[in-house]
Amino acid sequence: MGGARSAWYRYGVGALAIVVSAVVFIVPFVFIALVAVMDTQQASEFRFAWPRQFQGWQNLVDVVQTRDYILIIAFINSFVLTVASVTLMVVLGSMVAFVLQRRASRWTGVINFLVLAGLIMPPAVVPTIWVLQRLGLFATMPGLILVEVAFGISFTILLFRAFISTIPRELDEAAVLDGAGPLRLFFRVILPLLRPVLVTVVLVQSVAVFNDFQTPLYFLPGDAGATVQLTLFNFQSQNLSSYNLLFMDILLITIPPLVLYLFFNRQIVAGMTSGAVKG
């Protein structure tokens, strides 16, 4: 009797979780997709309903052609920003994590404190703008890339360090005995072993940078450097009554991160939990 009650409770909680997930995530996405293919008149009603007239292709063309194809420019900017930022995070974060895990010194505690502070402390927008202005990097793509790296590297270091702690030190010693220097030891021995967490870092940080709205808004103003999230902001301000075009824009910039998570969710979970046993 107790086993049956426990099984019912377990399945009931699971079913409740599925229902809540559907309400919170799936229903809004379906609503976005439906409004995105409506005509302007029906979309202005802002109701969850089946489209009376499918106008998806025309809405797509209108959104892409808006403001001299700014959405295309924004996708290119977001791609460059994401690839450059995540590459720097992976290279720098993995190297720092390796040194912190394998080369403990009197500065290790201070560096660990700074890494954790990077997760806890909110970004200081005005001082960061002042620094970028003095360096001549404000309102430039390199400056925005550096800001994205600074905001995301703490999380990257913690993930890499937790995984490196599971790698036996005997591999390091064997490589050193074979004549490997620090760079060769890291890039030829350690880095290939980081593939599970490497995939996780790349996917998680790529989605975070691609979906970032606040940082490009503050540090890269102007249409020339617009990212996909900023086009959403501009689109909403200019087409407030054209909900079908606004939601088509939302749908277009939602698809890439959604596809990444659908295809690589197992790798993300595996990388997040890989250093949980020993750390």
- Note the pLDDT tens digit of each residue in 87-140: 999 999 999 999 888 887 788 888 888 888 888 888 888 889 999 999 999 989
* Mean pLDDT to the nearest integer, 222-250: 77
For residue 160, the model assigns a pLDDT of 92
Locate 262 and state its tokens: 């659908």
Structure pTM? 0.84
Separation of alpha carbons 201 and 272, rounded Å: 9
Instruction: Please list, in sequence order, all residues whose beta carbon lies within 8 angstroms of the beta carbon of residue 3, skipping any fewer than 6 positions away.
Output: none
- Residue whose tokens read 């913690």: 158
Separation of alpha carbons 129 and 135, rounded Å: 10
Q: What is the CA radius of gyration of the chain?
A: 23
Separation of alpha carbons 213 and 73, rounded Å: 16
**Cβ atoms 98, 186 nearer than 8 A:** yes
Three-state SS sequence of the chain: CHHHHHHHHHHHHHHHHHHHHHHHHHHHHHHHHHHHCCCHHHHHHCCCCCCCCCCHHHHHHHHHHHHHHHHHHHHHHHHHHHHHHHHHHHHHHHHHHHHHHHCCCCCHHHHHHHHHHHHHCCCCHHHHHHHHHHHCCCCCHHHHHHHHHHHHHHHHHHHHHHHHCCCCHHHHHHHHHCCCCHHHHHHHHHHHHCHHHHHHHHHHHHHHHHCCCHHHHHHCCCHHHCCHHHHHHHHHHHCCCCHHHHHHHHHHHHHHHHHHHHHHHHHHHHHHHCCCCCC
- Note the pLDDT tens digit of each residue in 256-276: 888 877 777 676 666 666 554
* Residue 188 predicted with pLDDT over 50: yes
Q: For 63, how many CA atoms within 13 A lie in the half-sphere containing its CB?
A: 30
Residue 242: CB atoms within 10 A of its CB come to: 20
- Which tops the pLDDT comparison, 46 or 240? 46
State which CATH number among 3.40.640.10, 1.10.3730.10, 1.10.3720.10, 1.20.150.20 fits the domain covering 72-273.
1.10.3720.10
**Cβ atoms 49, 34 nearer than 8 A:** yes
Among residues 60, 55, 61, the alpha carbon closest in space to that of 40 is found at 55
Res. 279 pLDDT band, cuts 50 70 90: very low
Res. 236 pLDDT band, cuts 50 70 90: low
The percentage of residues in the chain with a pLDDT greater than 70, rounded to a whole number, is: 88
- Note the pLDDT tens digit of each residue in 189-220: 888 888 888 988 998 899 999 999 889 988 98
